[in-house]
Structure 1
Amino acid sequence: MPLVQGYVRKMSHTGISPVSYFWESATYNEADKKDLKVIESTSTSSVNTWIGKKITLATNDEIRCLHCGKKTKKSFSQGYCFTCFTTLAENDLCILRPETCHFHKGTCREPDWGKTNCFKKHTVYFANSSGLKVGITKENPVSNRWVDQGAKFGIPILEVESRRDAGILEHFLSQFLPDKTTWQKMVAGDPPDLDLVREANKFLNHLEKNEFFSPLESKSKLNWNRLDLSGGVTEIKYPIETYPTKIKSLKLTKDTAITDTLVGIKGQYLLFQSGVINIRSLSGLWIEVST
């Protein structure tokens, strides 16, 4: 009996002690040829209840674009067809490198989308996932972002009025510490202990002393607020029985199903005894999960 089946989305989640994960997938109305974006149904299932069980992930290799719903032979930017990848603002280079935002130049792919998503308060934070890292998010609470990247600890340090300003600050801080998570270390176990408050104060003090701290912008042109760190560090607990015995990425294809005991969930990764798989990277792919 299949537990779930459909075109998968990234896992949703609630809570942080521990995190509760939910499998999200969609099916489409094949009879409606005029509007392929019509979703016939969506399904949600608790992934935490699968832990400790031997489950099978299988696929027929079909992919539907997350945005338009059309079938695509290849997924771009984790779940989009080539047209949506090259035309949507949410897939522009500035999403990966927000300091390169070009809205002010009048060249945004979708100005209305940009106004809604990029011109709202963003938080610059420090997190400990595979080690100390800096990041930015518009999510509220900020812990939603930390969970998605598998961070064990996190603390907000700055607040700004736009994604571009957050990106400029992140770009400056990334000269001194990573802005990426090493997934192999993240899924291998808990990160090393770090004093995030001390690290945050150290870099904030350095930030405030620099008159020109980015090749793109001077501090005087940015409107940012240093946040009160007295609230302390947030700790996140993941539903993990044990960590994998092998740290390798498992491949899921039509000819290669995955059957193994699920031992935990961290970030967007399912942790099996023999390896891990990043569900977000499979967004749009048809997957059936069964016991």
Structure 2
Amino acid sequence: MTYQGVLTKMETEFSEPIQYYLVFESDFINMNQMLDKTISIQFVKYQCLSCGLDKPIFRQGFCKSCFFDIPQTADWIMRPELSTAHLDKEDRDLEYEKKVQLQPHIVYLANSSNVKVGVTRKSQIPTRWIDQGAHEAIEIVEVPNRYLAGITEVALKDYVADKTNWRTMLKNDIADEDLVTWRDNLKQYIPDEAKDYYIESNSETNILFPVLHYPKKPKSLNLTKAQNYTGKLVGIKGQYLIFEDETVFNIRSNEGLVVNISII
């Protein structure tokens, strides 16, 4: 059976283990059901997630012209402290920016390759943690807008990492951490504007991923260069497909690629 569609990040369902779904325009695949099966992935063409044209993808599933124009890729997406909708100040599209920025946001700790601090909309918990491949996570503060979350993250970056090592995450070469203690120790560094939003009494969320075998030396698949790949799927973690030969394929990094996927 062969499926064709444009790649977007896998949808997830919080369960034990996490359920993953690859969603196309007219079909979807429960990727958990593909575990221990040989699948083939073939590159067909590009399809920008904004304009829909067959143009090389620049970043985040968008062609270069769209990336530098649409509000979904403005600097405040990656740097929440640059958010200005709370000041009624437009960056690219004030209506969109108010919709996204002026809603509850969470500053959290997640342990994927190490303990890191991050920001996401409250509505994206625990999806954000799953996408990062975190096996445990905890909320630190819940604030009413993205700006407050951003300045809190910036303040905490001096005392905790803000990046994930994808190879370490995929090898599962990680240790459990007491995130409640981490949260409590970081409380003193929260900016004054966000101190009232500190969450005092919560516990870790633990996440189990559907992985049969972890790779020892993961190697990333460049599908546009290889054009096609065939391998046995042995795990899914974060937004990565893990194959028996230790090849890994990051769905999120390949958004905007039209592919054929066949189960052999």
TM over 0.5: yes
Determine which structure has more spread, i.e. the larger CA radius of gyration: 1
Q: Does 1:56 align with 2:28?
A: no
1:169 alignment counterpart: 152
Q: 126, 139, 142: which is aligned to 1:156? A: 139
Question: C-alpha separation between the residues in 2 aligned to 1:271 and 1:224?
Answer: 42
1:110 alignment counterpart: 93
Shift of the 281–75 alpha-carbon distance from structure 1 to 2, 3 Å rule, reads same
1:287 alignment counterpart: 259
* Contact 1:16–1:238 under 8 Å retained in 2: no
Question: C-alpha separation between the residues in 1 aligned to 2:182 and 2:206?
Answer: 16
Q: Does 1:132 align with 2:115?
A: yes
Query: Number of residues paired by the alignment?
Result: 261
Runs of 4+ in 1 over 6 A off after TM superposition: none
Shift of the 196–187 alpha-carbon distance from structure 1 to 2, 3 Å rule, reads same
Report the CA distance between 1:224 and its aligned residue: 4.5
Q: What do residues 71-92 of structure 1 show as CA deviations (whole Å, max 9, x unaligned)?
A: 21x2122211223211111101
Uncovered stretches (5+) of structure 2, i.e. residues with no partner? none
Q: What do residues 255-290 of structure 1 show as CA deviations (whole Å, max 9, x unaligned)?
A: 541111111000100011222110011111011111
Q: Which has the higher helix share?
A: 2
One-letter code aligned to 2:135: K
Q: Secondary structure at the match of 2:27?
A: strand
* Deviating more after overlay: 237-246 vs 193-202: 237-246
- Calculate the TM-score normalised by the size of structure 2: 0.93
Q: Secondary structure at the match of 1:167?
A: helix
Question: C-alpha separation between the residues in 1 aligned to 2:231 and 2:206?
Answer: 29
Report the CA distance between 1:171 and its aligned residue: 0.7
Q: 66, 76, 83: which is aligned to 1:94? A: 76
Q: 58, 80, 83: which is aligned to 2:62? A: 80
One-letter code aligned to 2:38: K
Q: What do residues 168-223 of structure 1 show as CA deviations (whole Å, max 9, x unaligned)?
A: 1001101111111110111011521211000110001x225xxxx5xxxxx24x57
- Calculate the TM-score normalised by the size of structure 1: 0.85
Uncovered stretches (5+) of structure 1, i.e. residues with no partner? 27-41, 214-218
Q: How large is the Cα RMSD of the aligned pairs?
A: 1.7
Q: Secondary structure at the match of 1:109?
A: coil
Q: Does 1:226 align with 2:198?
A: yes
